[in-house]
Amino acid sequence: MAVALVNSRKGNAASSLATNWSVTAGNILVAFFFSDNGTEPAIGCSDGTNSYTQFSRIGNYAAHHNVYACVLAAGGTITVTANDTWDTIVLAEFSGVTLTTDATTVKAGLSNQYTQTLAITVPSDGDLILSCWAVNSPAVTYYGSIGTDFQKEHNSSSHLYIANWATGAAGTFTQVFTLSPTWANANCSGCIIALKAAASGPAIPVFMNQYRQRRN
């Protein structure tokens, strides 16, 4: 099964967010948390059923991000609750993927930048490549260079984020997040994460004439 984005949604100025679709057991749910506060909000999240693993955390003044994920134990609607209020929460469900990383997560916080480059090299085909960017900027446009920006937000003069996903053959994935105009430089933090695809089931061999139909 190829990696695929099932669904996603976002919520602003919240400490919890529920999926507005029914998730599927065995898929993964990724939770992104973004904040432009001077002080990083308290980290951690739960939903009362699943166990979340933290894959990235950068506390950079006015440009904080945290990324968690879990394997869904059951289907239905999920409400993820954080340990604090965040400017934006994003939930995204993916199929065909595990929580096993295929390379060390690359993450960084920068000051006074209008662009950030994040590169990760993976040995396996078909990984889920997740990346995100949190920025404190009044930029007009903002985008990633690879993959799909599946959730974006610019809900005030200073709060901006991108959540992106990609997949492909083994090799190096280089994500370049950019603000426009270039004078809109600001503090930012970003990460790029590689999660291994789920193993495909074994092929079932078929032999000619293995079974013969009885004739009357």
Structure confidence at residue 173 as a pLDDT band (50, 70, 90) = very high
- Per-residue model confidence as pLDDT tens digits over 75-132: 999 999 999 999 999 999 999 999 999 999 999 999 999 999 999 999 999 999 999 9
d(CA 172, CA 82): 33
In the chain, where are the structural domains located?
A: 4-197
- Per-residue model confidence as pLDDT tens digits over 30-74: 999 999 988 999 999 999 999 999 999 999 999 999 999 999 999
Token couple for 6? 């099932």
**Nearest C-alpha neighbor of 175 from the set 145, 200, 204, 148:** 145
Sign of CA pseudo-dihedral 38, 42, 44, 48:
negative
The pLDDT of residue 201: 58
- Per-residue model confidence as pLDDT tens digits over 177-208: 999 888 788 899 999 999 999 987 554 454 44
- The letter for the amino acid at 184 is A
Token couple for 147? 């993959």
- Quickly list DSSP for 151-179: EEEE-SSSEEEEEEEE--SSEEEEEEEEE
